[in-house]
Amino acid sequence: MKITEFVPEQKNYTKKIKEIFDENFKEKIYLLKRIQDEDNHKVLLNIFEIVSDSLEVNESLLKFIDKKTPVHNLFVFRTNEKEEFQYKILLAYKEIYKDDDNKSLVKNIGKYFSTNWISKERYIEYTTDICMENIFEELFFKISKYKKIEGESLKSIIEINDRIISLKSEIKKLNVKLGNEKQVNKRSEIHHKIQVYKQKLDEIERIH
């Protein structure tokens, strides 16, 4: 497999997206890079830069672009409000499938993971020394901090990690609740729930 990186001639996507997005759309969008398999011309990753005067990331815009592009995307959010640390990198896993006419479509866009505000040098570090054949997965694990699981698909890994995070969150909440509860019978109920969640967590972590 040969990998090629190129920047399309039409770099500024703002006008195109603004026409079909909404009248309040203010961000400027640039397709910085498209990483492609040179052998079969399959696009492995689009890298978009979004420039804004705001510190708030417009996730509805990211979802709109993700929905319209049946390939994985990396979003580089840049703001003029910060000087040294002015970049934030975002991505989300999405399912891409073929319809009856063999057209690629997108469904089930997941939650967006992002870096903290980082410098341009740090941003460059994130996108270099990456295995190009698995570039989206490599970037996903770098940014999400999710644990890799041998033999599992990225979709399954996300589901397993989300379950682990959810169980840990529930255990933490119940421990706080237990510390504040005075009634013996209610404390017993809460303690039982904690043990059930811990057992489920142990089972998942033992298997994976």
* Local structure of residue 46 (DSSP, 8 states): E
CA distances from 145 to 115, 137, 140, 162, 165 (A): 10, 12, 8, 12, 12
pLDDT of residue 19: 62
pTM (whole model) above 0.85 = no
Two tokens at 184?
Answer: 């013996």
Q: Of 153, 144, 72, 140, nearest to 106 (Cα)?
A: 72
Helix (H, G, I), strand (E, B) or coil at 118: strand
pLDDT along the chain (208 residues), means of 10: 55 61 69 80 86 85 89 89 79 92 89 91 77 82 89 91 93 93 91 94 84
pLDDT of residue 129: 65
pLDDT of residue 16: 63
